[in-house]
Amino acid sequence: MRADTFASIDVGTTKVCTAVAEIGEEQAIRILGVGVCPAKGFSRGMVDNIAEATQSIADSVDKAERSSGTRILSAHVGITGSHIQSLNNRGIAAIPDRSHPIGSDDIERVLEGARVINIPSNREVLHAVPRYYVVDGQDSVSDPLGMHGQRLDVETHIVTASSSAMQNLMKCVESAGVEVESLILEPLASGEAVLEEEERKQGVVVADIGGGTTGIAVYLDGSVYHTSVLPVGGNHLTRDLVAGLRCPYVVAEEAKAAYGHAIPSMVDAAEMVDLDCFGSERQKSVPRRRLCEILQARCEEIMEMVMSEVKRTAHDDILSAGVVLAGGTAKLRGLDILAEQVTGMPVRIGVPRHLQGLSETLDDPAYATSVGLLQWALKENGMLYAGHRSGPSFAFGGWLRRVGQWMRVLMPE
């Protein structure tokens, strides 16, 4: 890879998307190539078959390499699954010399202190994202670098993940011939791609409804406040159609995309849909409204689960910007209208923004995570030399990982 290019791998339950990009004009991301393949070996965002998962990733990487004309040596990889947990924690550091301003070393020390939490041995800290700083009691400082003070506090959002889930995912990516630059929580990545800065300030919920999981990220006062992953997604809608219409899974998936609607009353009651079904009569006609009623029930359940998770940590009255839907399931017709009815908040469909190059390929809610991984990686590289450990630049090993990669290059086996 050229020095100015970087890559991301969005590993989902239904698809694996590899994207290669470079920094374009005005710090926008220029897409150089994309490789999308069906995902095999994954269940609800987690690896359940190493060989199949590795092959899916390798196929996606190969397509992206041929599309971009670039060899992918390393990538930023998205991670999700119900094993994800989060909490907010505060770090404190004393400034030894009051005559000198707060430097990058002080910021690193206070962030390291915030990462020290009591977690089980089978879990690891994935992210420690600073929400705001406090300098000698002055609250809500966004960047303390260069300020004077005797005590520096930082409020951080800590994301932890299962060690085995992280190791299995990394093994699959590395077996496909790609080094893992960092693991990034997919709901956070989606937020980078679809949210406006004003929405973050006023309070917003990102609901990334993928195939096997629904990632949630709550933002307050411009920073992330809560993250979680629910083990339900678009595949559950398809399975409901299989059970309700007695048809094969592939047929149900195609019918969902072609005829699905989250508001049955907006569909012509007399319209019929021909489906290939099980039984002696290989094809039968079913009312389209019946199909939509099945989808409506599951969509309502998903949105109720999202709001239940949100209300567990934050009051919905302070989320003025409402809900932004992302993920492939967000393309279901009428889902935004149904979500407004269930949540009682404004809802819009999130589409990746600020892209150049092959942007039309990723101009879709289904690729919000893929684009967000690139944007998070761009932010990481920009912050790396400023001394800020904000986000994935130090996730899962940080500098130790980079040193290990350099050692492998210098001293090959």
- The DSSP secondary structure of 129-165, one letter per residue, reads EEEEEEETTEEEES--TT---SEEEEEEEEEEEEHHH
Domain count, the chain: 2
* pLDDT classification of 285: cutoffs 50, 70, 90: very high
Pairing mode, if any, of strands 138-141 and 42-43? Answer: unpaired
| CATH number where 109 lies | 3.30.1490.110
* pLDDT classification of 358: cutoffs 50, 70, 90: low
Instruction: Provide the sign of the torsion angle of the four alpha carbons 220, 88, 183, 26, taken in this order.
Output: positive
* pLDDT classification of 393: cutoffs 50, 70, 90: very low
* pLDDT over 50 (residue 8): yes
- Taking CA atoms, 159 is separated from 119, 163, 224, 394, in Å, by 11, 12, 11, 13
The answer to whether position 248 is within a domain reads yes
Digit-coded pLDDT (tens) for 235-273: 999 999 999 999 999 999 999 999 999 999 999 999 999
* pLDDT over 80 (residue 20): yes
The answer to whether position 260 is within a domain reads yes
> What number of other Cβ atoms are within 10 A of residue 173's Cβ?
22
Q: How far apart are the first and last CA of the chain?
A: 22
CA distance 18 to 1: 14
The fraction of the chain above a pLDDT of 90, given in percent, is 77
Chosen domain end from 267, 289, 311? 289
Q: Residue 317 has what pLDDT?
A: 83
* pLDDT over 50 (residue 411): no
Q: Residue 45 has what pLDDT?
A: 87
The answer to whether position 171 is within a domain reads no
* pLDDT over 80 (residue 147): yes
* pLDDT over 70 (residue 395): no
Do the beta carbons of residue 276 and residue 248 sit within 8 Å? yes
Q: Residue 282 has what pLDDT?
A: 79
The whole domain housing 141 covers 85-160
Chosen domain end from 112, 130, 160? 160
Pairing mode, if any, of strands 5-11 and 323-326? Answer: unpaired
Q: Residue 377 has what pLDDT?
A: 83
The answer to whether position 112 is within a domain reads yes
The answer to whether position 50 is within a domain reads no
The answer to whether position 246 is within a domain reads yes
Digit-coded pLDDT (tens) for 208-235: 999 999 999 999 999 999 999 999 999 9
Chosen domain end from 94, 126, 160? 160
| CATH number where 248 lies | 3.90.640
Q: Residue 252 has what pLDDT?
A: 96
> Which residues face 159 on adjacent strands?
86, 127
The answer to whether position 251 is within a domain reads yes
Q: Residue 397 has what pLDDT?
A: 40
The answer to whether position 115 is within a domain reads yes
Cα angle at 65 between 63 and 68, to 5 degrees?
Answer: 105
* pLDDT over 70 (residue 405): no
Cβ within 8 Å of residue 221, ≥6 positions away: 131, 132, 140, 201, 203
